[in-house]
Chain A
Amino acid sequence: MTIPARIPLQTEYKDQAIIRTQKQWYLFVGFVIFLFALPFFSGGRIIGMMNIIGITAIAVVGLQINVGYAGQVNLGQSAFVGVGAYTAGALTLHFNVPIWITIPMAGASAAVFGAIFGLAALRIKGFYLALSTIAAQFIFWFTMLKLPKSWFGQHEGLRLEPVSLLGFRFDTDSRVYYLIFITAVLMIYGAFSLARSRTGRALIAIRDNDKVADIIGIDVFYYKSLAFFIGAFYAGIAGALWGYYIRFVHADQFTLWLSVWYLGMLIVGGMGSILGAIIGTVGMRLLQELMTYLGPRIVEMQVFSKLGGEIIFASMNMLLGAIIIIFVIFEPRGLVHRLNIIKESYRLWPFPCERR
């Protein structure tokens, strides 16, 4: 049974099904086919954008598991992405390991790195946990620049050739798109399943009140570490895909600023929802792309010629930050909450939908 305009009560497993009706199945399959066929009818710009969105979505979904479901603040997700990128790059470059091994290995290495910082989560939370995850960012950066050059290239980074799988060479944007697309589908399916599982319920209990969760028998230490482990695993997978797409891995690509943006995407999309992570990623990246597209054109129009081009671009960057602030103030539950309201309104139409 659903209560209008609120999050549905889910008492049975089938209540938690994401796709419930045949019509929804048709729409979903159609959407997947559309995405699969995208390279055949869209331009290079769209494919480039989709590749970056796909990679970012995997990292942000991982962050959602950690932050949105387990309630553990994490400002080091970008570092975990970097660990995955370096792992995949080094295995490919030095040992010619095939990508069906390097990608999971990248996830595993990032997961171990992330779990180490998850150990701190048992003792500290909130602001202090955020600081310890920021430390992950700096530790990663310094380590990668100091480890032997023959391992990770130090300040030269790693340069990769296009990889291949079963004879299919990923040397164009369209071909890499399929690698990213298939990986993203698998990872997002896994995230939805995790969220609806016993583990997911344990993480939510810890998020809501970790002391009570402990009292009712949930192993808080285990699940907090597991949240970091899984979140970082996703980041590592995203890092591997990043490395194979850009074909150049360097510590400077994985900054604290990027971790902040991942968190911003969660805020805009909605915390505590896998769909929210995806919506936030898509929305924010499209907004960035729009600004990148509009910026030079506004400058060329010389509408604000007295301000100069640099002010135009800087103000656009400020706009992105302002959007995050606006969402925190006016829609703290994110775009996914708006989407839920719209869905319920549609289901109850023509009856009014109570909004909360």
Chain B
Amino acid sequence: MKKSKYFLLVATIVLSVLMEGHTFAAVTKYKVPVISDFTGPYAELMKSWIPVHKAVFAWWNDSSGKRLGVDMELRHYDGRQDPSTIASMWPGILAECRPIIALGGGGADVAALQQRLPQDKVPAFYGTAAYGYGWLPNQWLFQVRPTYVHEMIAALIWYIQQHPEKRPIKFAFMSSQIPPALDNVKGMQKYIQEKLEPKGLCKLSAVEYVDINPVDVSNQMKKLIDAKADLVSGPATTAMAAAYIRACELHGMNIPTLMAPHQTIYPFARAMKTYKPFEGHFVVAAHASVTDKNSRAYQFFKVLVEKYGLKDDQWNPYTMMALPQSILAVRAVEHAAKKVGESKLTGQAVYDAIMAQPFTHEELMGLLPTLYFTREAPFSTKDLKVMIETVKNGEYVLATPEWVPVPDDITKW
């Protein structure tokens, strides 16, 4: 008996030493794969995206995650924007991470994974706007924004309302022929021809195609000028934007463009150190504006700067693609954890939680309007809104301080 008591005493001492400073953590850890691209066309964007992903997930782990007993760890994988690389690495990701969610990069992983995500039961989140060909029911990938077409139509209608003297507004395209660009052209064409032209609000005046990285587009610009275009969409790369501006200067004209924030004004100004060439041009996106430093979104960003390693100069349109993606992903897990508990989280549980209730503007930290996901589409289809930015007097500012609604009569093309 003496020996057994002695043994118990020693065991107690040893255990207490080992457990010194340790709390019995009731935290369930989950790994979240991030399909990144470091060597492909989105490599430049990754510099902005990765710190944002890390910061948002760290913030959530320290706040809601701690309360719920959930900790999420990001694991980055270089997909190289190559569907075969992503397809071959995905089974390993499933085995290694057993993910409950994933963060996607772009078109290549959509191509590689879209058909198998429902079977693998892993919801994937994307920070860019959607495309028409991804507008399919029963998807397990979720876009924080509607299609580029939705966004541009909202901005076009706003522009029409601002310029009643120009009706019908002559809308033109100067676009590349890569599938995403063609998708935008088709979607806009359909809406203009079916909804706006009959009402005398807008008409399609010209469609010109150029290389994706053109040197000179002065010929195409001449055709747009001859067609008396009032607004042009299409320059989706910095090279196209630069060529467009050069062509405008050559012809002594300035036809405003309408694109997404990461495509024209910001990347061009970052290279040329001035916004002036884009005076009067517009960009539109269904997320908070980087020009508004009084917004809830900017206050949230400052928290991430102060405590989670982001820098002030990271407040830009590239970051604004990763921020909404990350916040939606963590809130989706939060919704699911509240329903099923921290230790029973699965991809199916997260998917069910996404469908069950909306994500409010407040819980999305002002980055996005309230999102309502349904099985009809991979993006929210209700109460869509956008923010429109422009360059005025050489400054990058909001074109209008309020969220602009997207019309609800946009149909698939």
Chain A residues near B (Cβ < 8 Å): 43-49, 51-52, 56, 142, 145, 153-157, 159-160, 171, 173, 242, 245-248, 250-253, 258, 285, 288-289, 291-292, 295-296, 299-300, 308-310, 312-314, 316-317
Contact = CB atoms under 8 A, between A and B. Distances in A.
30 contacts: A43-B91, A43-B95, A44-B94, A44-B95, A45-B95, A46-B92, A48-B89, A51-B88, A56-B84, A142-B177, A154-B179, A154-B182, A155-B133, A155-B179, A155-B183, A157-B133, A246-B111, A246-B115, A248-B111, A248-B114, A253-B83, A253-B84, A285-B88, A292-B80, A295-B78, A296-B77, A299-B76, A308-B47, A310-B38, A313-B38
Contacts of A316: 39
Interface SS of A by simple majority: helix
Contact of A289 (B89, B93, B183): B89
A160 B111 CA distance: 12
A252 B107 contact: yes
3 tightest Cβ-Cβ pairs between the two chains A and B: A45-B92, A313-B38, A44-B91
Contact of B116 (A43, A247, A252, A312): A247
Given A295-B78, A309-B50, A312-B38, A246 B88 contact: no
A295 B38 contact: yes
B179 A250 contact: yes
Contacts of A173: 91
Given A48-B88, A317-B39, A253 B111 contact: yes
Contact of A296 (B75, B84, B88, B136): B75
B107 to A, nearest CB: 7
Interface residues of B, number: 40
A253 B77 CA distance: 19
Given A245-B87, A295-B38, A313-B78, A252 B179 contact: yes
Contact of B115 (A247, A292, A308, A310): A247
A46 B179 CA distance: 33
B50 to A, nearest CB: 7
B294 interface: no
Contacts of B87: 48, 51-52, 245-246
A145 B133 CA distance: 13
B111 A52 contact: no
Contacts of A253: 83-84, 111
Contacts of B183: 155-156
Contact of B111 (A153, A154, A157, A295): A157
Contacts of A52: 84, 87-88
B85 A288 contact: yes
Contacts of B111: 157, 246, 248, 250, 252-253
Contacts of B107: 252
B196 interface: no
B38 A309 contact: yes
Contacts of A154: 179, 182
A47 B85 CA distance: 13
B269 interface: no
A86 to B, nearest CB: 14
Given A246-B111, A313-B38, A145 B177 contact: yes
A159 B248 CA distance: 41
Contact of A160 (B84, B90, B115, B133): B115
A49 B85 CA distance: 9
Given A296-B77, A299-B76, A317-B39, A246 B179 contact: no
A296 B73 CA distance: 13
Contacts of A160: 115
A317 B47 CA distance: 18
Nearest to B46: A310
A314 B39 contact: yes
A316 B78 CA distance: 11
Interface in B68-112: 75-78, 80, 83-85, 87-96, 107, 111-112
B162 interface: no
Contacts of A45: 89, 91-93, 95-96
B278 to A, nearest CB: 27
A53 to B, nearest CB: 8
